[in-house]
Amino acid sequence: MTTRLDALVRMSDDEWAEMIGVHLNGTFYGTRAVAKELTQQGVRVNAIAPGFVDTPLLKPMGEALVGAVKAATPANRLARPEEIAAAVSYLVGDESGYVVGESFSVNGGMLTR
């Protein structure tokens, strides 16, 4: 069977490890170095990690899968785009001037443990 994701089937473990190393480790180490070095100059490095957001991009998932996502989320719903925008607004505002190196999980509790 051929799918758009058939690269996952063909990818070796070594290729996977290399890809993870480049994308995750590179991002982590680069971000950590920049957050520490430039903080004194007013540069803050933060991230927003949204859960599923109610946008047209979810339409191809189908109602059944979207319903399953909602059921798996403690908030029992998808995020509204405005909620993600509010998190962005907070991070770029003066109120978050002391927030550095954080990842904001705006996911309705989906990833809580």
Cβ-based neighbours of 47, under 8 Å, separated by 6 or more: 102, 103, 104
Question: What local confidence, expressed as pLDDT, does residue 4 receive?
Answer: 55
With contact defined as beta carbons under 8 Å apart, do 49 and 104 qualify? yes
36-57 pLDDT, tens digit per residue, is 778 888 888 899 999 999 999 9
CA distance linking residue 78 with residue 82, whole number of Å: 12
Domain boundaries, the chain: 11-43, 46-113
**pTM > 0.75:** no
67-78 pLDDT, tens digit per residue, is 999 999 999 999
